[in-house]
């Protein structure tokens, strides 16, 4: 008879749970869920050796274990600290943790530009959520913010180094998911930046996944750049037969147009496992080249469980009421008084914004271009 595996009891914010030995405090908290879970900007469960860089997941260990109940002298990173039997952890119940997290957020925002109004990551940015929940009202930083020379990473990926928080997720993704990494972190200290040492394009078949793992707007999709706001689009689950990847994606649609394609994510912003059991990384062909709804088998509206504006106005199973105008008018259909497109030169219905290469300009709607 197989020997029963021993489980460790750990108490996080007065909630006790049993987990396997070797489980980190962060993953133990995720088994509980809710506000007990510390935020994480650099840790990614699908990427080996990630974590320990952003310090946003700091917690207080009030008791190390049953065998040694002494508290740890300093706050610890929950993503890199494993639980012990009888450990007691404080997260939202500790004022020291809340104050430390506020300081960490302030450091992350020191050089971060106020790009939210024009950033494509707005609405699904983890740094936005973090600063809203744990940040200060204003900054005390009075010096010039750092700037970087722009690097061209190819036709698909846009790099904004001023927004980067050096979480290293994109480096780990290129190392572990693609067959060749050509970018990394160059220089040291406040001069550190994500770049290629020799100017090269990121053109590996799976390099587009660095966009999905980036917690901020440092790496964005050039094919979606300035096209739309995520909360105006509708995320739906879809799949196709692909010989390179799992083919299970999330389409971001507005009407019948597919504005972008991403991997499916869970409530922590991490890529879900596919139905085949492997991590749901997707290839560049699925991400950048399959932008027609006819390319996909649409399964239905995605379940957006993360507290985000993306989920506003999207209700699965919604039944629209029947139109009553015809009944009120004794069977007569309403007449169209004026077609706005006949008097307006803007946003012509025959021009699909998602098909325009790059951001839309007024010249795209000129009569001679229609």
- Residue 305: its pLDDT value, please? 63
First to last CA, the chain: 74
Q: Is residue 210 part of a domain?
A: yes
d(CA 13, CA 37): 10
- Residue 136: its pLDDT value, please? 85
CATH number of the domain bearing residue 202: 3.30.70.20
d(CA 339, CA 354): 23
Calculate mean pLDDT across residues 19-23.
Answer: 94
Q: Which of 226, 243, 266 is the last residue of a domain?
A: 226
Of 221, 213, 121, give the one whose Cα is nearest residue 169: 213
Q: Is the pTM of the predicted complex or chain greater than 0.85?
A: no
| Summary mean pLDDT of the chain | 87
d(CA 153, CA 158): 7
Q: Which segment, 211-215, 230-234, 350-354, is predicted with the most confidence on average?
A: 211-215
CB-based contacts of 145, cutoff 8 Å, min separation 6:
110, 111, 112, 113, 162
Residue 360 has pLDDT above 50, yes or no: yes
Q: Is residue 51 part of a domain?
A: yes
Together in a domain, 53 and 101: yes
| Structural domain of 349 | 325-365
- Residue 1: its pLDDT value, please? 45
Q: Which of 226, 254, 275 is the last residue of a domain?
A: 226
Cα angle vertex 202, ends 364, 129, to 5°?
75
Together in a domain, 61 and 83: yes
Q: How many domains does the chain have?
A: 3
- Residue 329: its pLDDT value, please? 77
d(CA 354, CA 65): 56
Q: Which helix (H) or strand (E) holds 145?
A: none
Instruction: Choose between 331 and 318: higher pLDDT.
Output: 331
Together in a domain, 103 and 120: no
Q: What contacts 24+ positions apart, CB below 8 Å, involve 131-135?
A: 131/105, 133/39, 134/39, 134/56, 134/98, 134/101, 134/102, 134/105, 135/102, 135/105, 135/106, 135/109
Q: Is residue 214 part of a domain?
A: yes
Q: Is residue 272 part of a domain?
A: no
Both tokens of residue 90? Answer: 């404080």
Together in a domain, 96 and 55: yes
Residue 119 has pLDDT above 90, yes or no: yes
């Amino acid at each position: 008879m197989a020997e029963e595996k021993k489980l460790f009891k750990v108490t996080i914010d007065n909630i006790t749970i049993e987990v396997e030995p070797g489980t980190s405090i962060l993953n133990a908290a995720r088994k509980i869920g809710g506000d007990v879970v510390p935020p994480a900007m650099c840790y990614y469960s699908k990427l080996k050796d990630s974590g320990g860089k952003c310090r946003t997941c700091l917690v207080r260990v009030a008791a190390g274990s049953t065998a040694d109940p002494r508290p740890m002298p300093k706050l610890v990173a929950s993503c890199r600290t494993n639980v012990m039997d009888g450990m007691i952890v404080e997260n939202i119940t500790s004022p020291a943790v809340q104050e430390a997290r506020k300081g960490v957020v302030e450091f992350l925002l020191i050089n971060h530009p106020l790009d939210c109004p024009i950033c494509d990551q707005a609405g699904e940015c983890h740094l936005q959520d973090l600063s809203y929940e744990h940040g200060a009202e204003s900054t005390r930083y009075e010096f010039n913010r750092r700037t970087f020379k722009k690097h061209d990473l190819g036709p698909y990926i846009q790099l904004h180094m001023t927004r980067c928080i050096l979480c290293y997720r994109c480096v780990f993704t290129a190392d572990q998911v693609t067959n060749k990494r050509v970018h990394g972190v160059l220089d040291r200290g406040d001069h550190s930046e994500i770049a290629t040492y020799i100017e090269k394009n990121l053109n590996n078949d799976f390099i587009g996944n660095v966009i999905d793992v980036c917690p901020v707007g440092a790496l964005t999709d050039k094919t979606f750049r300035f096209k739309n706001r995520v909360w105006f689009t509708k995320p739906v689950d879809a799949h196709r037969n692909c010989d390179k990847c799992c083919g299970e994606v999330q389409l971001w649609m507005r009407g019948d147009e597919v504005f972008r394609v991403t991997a499916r994510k869970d409530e922590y912003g991490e890529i879900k496992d596919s139905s085949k059991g492997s991590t749901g990384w997707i290839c560049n062909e699925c991400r950048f080249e399959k932008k027609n709804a006819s390319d996909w088998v649409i399964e239905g509206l995605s379940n957006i469980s993360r507290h985000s504006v993306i989920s506003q106005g999207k209700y699965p199973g919604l039944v629209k009421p029947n139109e009553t105008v015809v009944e009120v008018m004794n069977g007569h259909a309403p007449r169209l008084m004026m077609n706005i497109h006949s008097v307006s030169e803007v946003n012509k219905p025959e021009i699909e914004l998602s098909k325009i290469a790059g951001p839309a300009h007024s010249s795209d709607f000129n009569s001679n271009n229609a």
